[in-house]
């Protein structure tokens, strides 16, 4: 457990893992769309939405496991028992959901479909299969969370990338021969099961380390009750997050059909790249913060403060520059990305609120990481009550205004929740003390600078020109804006301390 890679190597591994997610979304989703058509791809979009939505069935076990396995106050035997205990609960729950997906009546499964899609029995079979595949994906992510939590990001991300190559890239071959969403789902299910078994073996080998093979992992219910408050808070937060991020897609599919869901889902995926871009930082920082906050030495508090501060600045630059570039150049990029299947005029209608919403969600990663490290999710717990308003708001807005209504509900929700959460972390956990306005400014400066750069490029060049010119402008805007933003908010002392950080 003490043989941890250097933090720079961990960060590189996390960047590699998230880069693969970026490439997979950028390259293969349009390929699926062109092979399967809009309705066939709608099944894949539904699979992605359901996979995110049923994340709340995790019951908060994965985040709790990730944190507790790196708690320095636990012995190796306690970590083994913790893993075995949480795993047994998780597997029992997963098997129950799979049985439910197999035997539940068609009428219940079809609640996710619009009246036009109900005519196809083929779609109903696909729904059952995608529910089972989503549950296996949940179990796979449970073991990955454990590996990442013990600061073995290199192994965890190599597993993620290998799994992604097999599931996202190699599936294209079978789809070319058999262009059917059932083929895609069956492929996902089979290889997810294989990688889940492998990942479980890797996690146990890390936790056992040099322990004798005779040392057994035992089920201990007291470990569940000991973390019940934290796990319960994570559970309710997960419910709210799943509903807030996925229910718009389910409602669009239900009211407007799978063909309407396809373009909306692809634009959401494009906007979510902001979250994917900052995830490597949070995955690297969280285990280190857990170690620091469980360390009773005084200097640990200062180290934790610096890690959060530099993470906040890095994420502000990534999100601010990325959001501005997406809002200015996004419609053309998405049209090129989907080979003209999605028109840029449609993208313009929903892109701005989606980018703003996902940008704010990405910025909330730093305060949420601090709250997880301290096992203090009180604010998240209370904010999860927002789902009482979220679901009817989504339903009304989408019914009245279509996908555009869902996009703006998402944006307004994040504009309320994220600043509130940041202020709570500032006052309750005592991070960013005396620098609240500066921290907010660090959010805004990269976005404003990048918007100005993009505006100037729009004035000088014909952005509706060749594909090469458009992507050249995007690269120039991103590079120039990033340099300007870093010079504006990163101090020389930050770089010195970052270089010396273990």
What 8-state DSSP symbol labels residue 340?
A: T
396: CB partners within 8 A, 6+ apart: 405
CA–CA dist 221, 92 (Å, integer): 14
User: Looking at residue 56, what is its pLDDT?
Assistant: 57
What 8-state DSSP symbol labels residue 116?
A: T
Asked whether the beta carbons of 405 and 397 are under 8 A apart, the reply is yes
**Sign, CA torsion 464/466/471/474:** negative
Asked whether the beta carbons of 270 and 326 are under 8 A apart, the reply is yes
DSSP codes of every residue in 5-39: PPHHHHHHHHHHHHHHHHHHHHHHHHHHHHHHHHH
CA–CA dist 193, 195 (Å, integer): 6
User: Looking at residue 343, what is its pLDDT?
Assistant: 76
CA–CA dist 502, 489 (Å, integer): 23
**Cα 327 off chain centre by:** 21
What 8-state DSSP symbol labels residue 423?
A: H
User: Looking at residue 79, what is its pLDDT?
Assistant: 79
CA atoms within 13 A on the CB side of 193: 10
User: Looking at residue 106, what is its pLDDT?
Assistant: 64
Assign residue 34 a region (left: φ > 0; alpha: ψ between -120 and 50; beta: otherwise). Answer: alpha
Asked whether the beta carbons of 425 and 370 are under 8 A apart, the reply is yes
Tokens read off for 382? 């209370």
User: Looking at residue 46, what is its pLDDT?
Assistant: 75
Asked whether the beta carbons of 80 and 207 are under 8 A apart, the reply is yes
112: CB partners within 8 A, 6+ apart: 46, 50, 127, 250, 253, 254
Is the pTM of the predicted complex or chain greater than 0.85?
no
Q: Give per-residue pLDDT as tens, 379-396.
A: 676 777 777 888 899 999
User: Looking at residue 376, what is its pLDDT?
Assistant: 74
CA atoms within 13 A on the CB side of 490: 21
User: Looking at residue 1, what is its pLDDT?
Assistant: 45
Assign residue 127 a region (left: φ > 0; alpha: ψ between -120 and 50; beta: otherwise). Answer: alpha
Angle ∠(151,156,157) on CA atoms, nearest 5? 115
User: Looking at residue 76, what is its pLDDT?
Assistant: 74
Residues of the chain with pLDDT under 50: 1-2, 118, 298
**Cα 34 off chain centre by:** 25
CA–CA dist 14, 103 (Å, integer): 39
Assign residue 164 a region (left: φ > 0; alpha: ψ between -120 and 50; beta: otherwise). Answer: alpha
Tokens read off for 250? 């389910």
User: Looking at residue 476, what is its pLDDT?
Assistant: 92
CA–CA dist 172, 235 (Å, integer): 35
User: Looking at residue 48, what is its pLDDT?
Assistant: 74
Asked whether the beta carbons of 309 and 432 are under 8 A apart, the reply is yes
Give me the residue spans of the domains in the chain: 1-259
Nearest CA to 66 among 145, 151, 159?
A: 145
Radius of gyration of the chain from its Cα atoms, rounded to whole angstroms: 23
User: Looking at residue 448, what is its pLDDT?
Assistant: 93
CA–CA dist 362, 276 (Å, integer): 8
Nearest CA to 417 among 229, 244, 272?
A: 244
User: Looking at residue 302, what is its pLDDT?
Assistant: 63
SS3 state of residue 464: coil
404: CB partners within 8 A, 6+ apart: 349, 350, 353
Asked whether the beta carbons of 149 and 61 are under 8 A apart, the reply is no
CA distances from 247 to 18, 32, 396 (A): 24, 23, 13
CA–CA dist 51, 150 (Å, integer): 25
CA–CA dist 183, 193 (Å, integer): 16
């Amino acid at each position: 457990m003490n043989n941890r890679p250097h933090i720079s190597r961990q960060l590189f591994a996390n960047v590699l893992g998230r880069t693969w997610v970026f490439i997979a979304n950028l390259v293969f989703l349009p390929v699926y769309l062109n092979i399967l058509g809009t309705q066939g791809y709608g099944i894949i979009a539904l699979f992605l939405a359901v996979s995110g939505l049923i994340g709340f069935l995790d019951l908060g076990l994965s985040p709790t496991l990730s944190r507790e396995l790196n708690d320095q106050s636990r012995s190796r035997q306690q970590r083994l028992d913790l893993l075995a205990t949480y795993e047994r609960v998780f597997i029992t729950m997963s098997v129950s959901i799979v049985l439910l997906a197999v035997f539940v009546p068609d009428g219940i499964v079809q609640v996710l479909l619009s009246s036009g899609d109900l005519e196809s029995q083929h779609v109903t079979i696909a729904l059952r299969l995608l529910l089972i595949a989503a549950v296996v994906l949940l179990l796979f992510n449970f073991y990955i969370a454990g590996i990442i939590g013990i600061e073995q990001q290199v192994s965890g991300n190599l597993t993620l990338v290998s799994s992604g190559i097999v599931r996202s890239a190699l599936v294209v071959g079978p789809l070319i021969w058999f262009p059917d969403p059932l083929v895609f789902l069956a492929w996902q299910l089979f290889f997810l099961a294989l990688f889940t078994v492998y990942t479980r073996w890797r996690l146990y080998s890390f936790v056992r380390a040099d322990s004798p093979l005779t040392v057994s992992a035992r089920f201990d219910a007291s470990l569940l009750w000991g973390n019940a408050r934290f796990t319960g808070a994570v559970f309710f937060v997960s419910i709210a997050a799943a509903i807030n991020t996925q229910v718009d897609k389910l409602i669009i599919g239900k009211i407007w059909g799978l063909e309407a869901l396809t373009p909306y889902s692809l634009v959401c995926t494009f906007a979510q790249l902001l979250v994917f871009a900052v995830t490597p930082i949070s995955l690297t920082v969280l285990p280190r913060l857990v170690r620091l906050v469980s360390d009773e030495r005084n200097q640990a508090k200062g180290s934790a403060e610096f890690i959060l501060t530099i993470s906040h600045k890095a994420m502000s630059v990534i999100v601010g520059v990325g959001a501005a570039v997406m809002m200015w150049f996004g419609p053309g990029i998405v049209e090129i990305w989907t080979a003209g299947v999605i028109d840029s005029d449609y993208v313009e209608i929903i892109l701005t609120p989606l980018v703003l919403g996902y940008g704010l969600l990405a910025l909330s990663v730093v305060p949420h990481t601090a709250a997880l490290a301290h096992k203090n999710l009180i604010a998240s717990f209370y904010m999860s009550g927002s789902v009482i308003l979220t679901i009817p708001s989504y339903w009304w807005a989408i019914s009245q205004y279509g996908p555009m209504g869902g996009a703006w509900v998402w944006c307004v929700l994040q504009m309320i929740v994220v600043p509130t959460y940041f202020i709570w972390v500032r006052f309750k956990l005592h991070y960013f003390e005396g620098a609240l306005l500066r921290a907010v400014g660090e959010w805004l400066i990269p976005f404003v600078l990048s918007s100005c750069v993009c505006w100037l490029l729009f004035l000088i060049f014909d952005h509706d020109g060749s594909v090469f010119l458009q992507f050249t402008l995007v690269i120039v805007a991103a590079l120039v804006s990033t340099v300007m933003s870093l010079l504006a908010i990163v101090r020389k002392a930050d770089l010195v301390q970052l270089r010396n950080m273990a």
